[in-house]
Structure 1
Amino acid sequence: MSDMKPFRFGVVAESGEAAETQGLIALAGRAEELGYATLTLRDHYVTEPFGDQLAPMIALTAVACATRTLRLGTLVLANDYRHPVMLAKEAATLDQVSGGRFELGLGAGWLRDEYEQAGMAFDAAGMRVDRLEEALAILRGMLGGEKITFSGEHYRLRDLEVFPRPRRRPPLLVGAGSRRMLGIAGRYADVAGILPRALPNGTISDEISERMPDTIARKARWVREAAAAEGRDVELSMIVSPAFGDDPRRTAAKVAVLRGWGTASAELVLDMPSQFVGPPEHIAEQMLERRERYGFSYYVVADSDMDAFAPVVELLAGR
């Protein structure tokens, strides 16, 4: 694949340590020392399925003040939880506080239980995605320093610009699993975070088919095609699950059992673009091969895997 981007790596902070400010700051400091490019936070206010979390924009402000080179990101904010004008101002402020290190990740919102516990309408997926697309158009314009007049089905603005004005527009990441969402990521985002599909019942698909090579290749192609139609180039990202062990096949069998796919699925696990198994050197080789095949260059791991994954970061970051 031509025009491959250099590798960079991120951490999504979701452990108990990250749910307390000083613990999050300490975790961010370790990530920076280990050579990770970004520290990211999710956007949920119910405990399940990711544990208790701090409010991401405020917590990332604390991290910005305690680090020097680490980039800060949301992975991802649910669009329905904030009006895009308010979000533009918060993003512009955090970008200024961090010296231009903020990356704004946004999605359509998917966790039905969260909406319902908060008394929010969990609209049909099409309507939530419509809102996201309008919000992205507004955010790209405002964070790009434009004065915006916008009249859509969901948002209406007149002669509005953001303060503080970013010196350059913060990168936008869109988390996407369906064909329409992947096309939106290609048209609007700087980074497409490729995910399994969100289901109408308000969960994320755990189907093994969503993790297979042909499915991931097709999703990456949909992003690239939408981006190319707009004359754009989009970085491809994925949250990955490394599993370390001297024997890749034996390690893959353990992963298959833990995920409920059965030992017969071990060979499938070895080929899954989101699963990396074996010693660090083997995982690094897998990443080089999969960048060539799919185009992924930005990988994110859970903070619980951060230390174990650090040798892979050392082998590949910037290559």
Structure 2
Amino acid sequence: MDEARNDQHGTGPDGSGRAPRPFRFGVVGESIRSGADLLATARRAEDLGYSTLILRDHFVAEPFGDQLAPMVALASAAAATSTLRVGTMVLCNDYRHPVMLAKEAATLDHLSGGRFELGLGAGWLREEYEAAGMAFDAAGARVGRLEESLRILRSLLSGDKTTFAGEHYRTDGLTVFPRPDRCPPLVVGAGSRRMLGIAGRLADTVGILPRALPDGTISAEITERLPETIERKVGWVREAAAGRDVELSMMVTPTFGPDPRRAAAKVAVTRGWGTASAGLVLDMPSQFVGPPEHIAEQMLARRDRYGFTYYQVSDEVMDAFAPVIAHLA
């Protein structure tokens, strides 16, 4: 697949008339357990053509396994690479005050030569809050804090003297050092309408997710992954963005095999949806099945339909997924 194929369409899916964004790809450090793992994964990701190394933000082992502290680890990864961007997916807002986070983000952006992307979310894992003795407030309160944090972070990381008076946070004439040359990209993962609206207004990149549930889990419903649901969520982001050029992203789990339908059936069974759902899996925006060239074609089609241009995959499949990047580069 040549470069002209990657850029053949002249109108973005939001109807803006802008040419579509080029694709980029990130690696999520799912299996990193040591400094040696971290550096090896970062260097391998850079060599394979990935844009970003991303770390999660959890201090309990489930559901993603034990992890290094993201901000410290990303500083090390940035020092060991030269072009690879580093980012969080996503920091829990309730674990850090936005003023302290702005200081850390500005420092990491400076140390990485402007390669840091700050991902932030409202927090969702009830068991983690409870293990740390923190109150797991109602979603409305957590989301409200996140919105205020994003406003404070955008102002501080843009180099502005920031005075803010909200329901949850207050600042009085603060600035941040080191002052970034520009605000690092802000990334928000969201699944509900309110969160997607906040992300559309305040983020540079929006990760479309299944919605978080009040019990502190993420919805496993198949309906959360169907095309009409994703179209509706993208529409909420576009509406809130009001013409801003927002990057759309999604973490995906590719399933490789010569026959896309067989690969889809395997996913359907593994996820507990039943083999009869294989046809639904084939059309799910978060599922990519088949050989690398077929997955690349799926990504082009879904860029046209939804606008997704930034995909993240687990480090466990980064080598197997690399041929897809080569098809779209």
Q: TM-score band, normalised by the shorter chain?
A: over 0.9
Shift of 1:111: 0.1
Identify the residue that residue 255 of structure 1 maps to in structure 2.
267
Shift of 1:22: 1.2
Match of 1:311 among 298, 319, 323: 323
Partner SS, residue 288 of structure 2: strand
Shift of 1:19: 1.5
Q: How does 1:82-101 map to 2 (within 5 A)?
A: 82-101=96-115
Identify the residue that residue 146 of structure 1 maps to in structure 2.
160
Q: Can you list the C-alpha shifts for 1:10-49, whole angstroms capped at 9, x where unaligned?
A: 010011xx12111111011000000000000000000000
In 1, Cα distance between the equivalents of 2:324 and 2:128? 35
In 2, Cα distance between the equivalents of 1:266 and 1:182? 28
Q: How does 1:262-273 map to 2 (within 5 A)?
A: 262-273=274-285
TM (norm. structure 1) is 0.97
Identify the residue that residue 11 of structure 1 maps to in structure 2.
27
Q: Can you list the C-alpha shifts for 1:243-300, whole angstroms capped at 9, x where unaligned?
A: 0000000110011000110000000000000000000000000000000000000000
Match of 1:108 among 105, 122, 128: 122
In 1, Cα distance between the equivalents of 2:23 and 2:244? 19
In 1, Cα distance between the equivalents of 2:28 and 2:228? 26
Identify the residue that residue 134 of structure 2 maps to in structure 1.
120
1:46 has 2:63 as partner: no
Q: Can you list the C-alpha shifts for 1:164-203, whole angstroms capped at 9, x where unaligned?
A: 0001110000000000000001000000001000000000
In 2, Cα distance between the equivalents of 1:133 and 1:52? 28
Unaligned runs of at least 5 residues, structure 1? none
Partner SS, residue 264 of structure 1: helix
In 2, Cα distance between the equivalents of 1:241 and 1:52? 20
Partner letter of residue 327 of structure 2? L
CA RMSD of aligned residues (A): 0.6
Identify the residue that residue 72 of structure 2 maps to in structure 1.
58
Shift of 1:75: 0.3
In 2, Cα distance between the equivalents of 1:55 and 1:188? 25
In 1, Cα distance between the equivalents of 2:307 and 2:26? 17
Match of 2:216 among 198, 202, 211: 202
1:161 has 2:175 as partner: yes
Identify the residue that residue 239 of structure 1 maps to in structure 2.
251
- Quote the sequence identity (%): 75
1:187 has 2:240 as partner: no
In 2, Cα distance between the equivalents of 1:201 and 1:194? 20
TM (norm. structure 2) is 0.94
Shift of 1:314: 1.1
Match of 1:280 among 259, 283, 292: 292
Partner SS, residue 171 of structure 2: strand
1:30 has 2:71 as partner: no
1:211 has 2:225 as partner: yes
Shift of 1:109: 0.2
1:70 has 2:110 as partner: no
In 1, Cα distance between the equivalents of 2:98 and 2:35? 26
Partner SS, residue 215 of structure 1: helix
Partner letter of residue 160 of structure 1? L
Partner SS, residue 242 of structure 1: coil
Unaligned runs of at least 5 residues, structure 2? 1-12
In 2, Cα distance between the equivalents of 1:257 and 1:40? 29
In 1, Cα distance between the equivalents of 2:47 and 2:238? 33
Identify the residue that residue 3 of structure 2 maps to in structure 1.
none
How many residues are treated as equivalent by the alignment?
313
Identify the residue that residue 135 of structure 1 maps to in structure 2.
149
In 2, Cα distance between the equivalents of 1:149 and 1:21? 39
Partner SS, residue 305 of structure 1: helix
Runs in 1 of length 4+ with deviation above 6 angstroms?
A: none
Partner letter of residue 81 of structure 1? Y
Shift of 1:315: 1.1
In 1, Cα distance between the equivalents of 2:210 and 2:280? 16
Identify the residue that residue 308 of structure 2 maps to in structure 1.
296
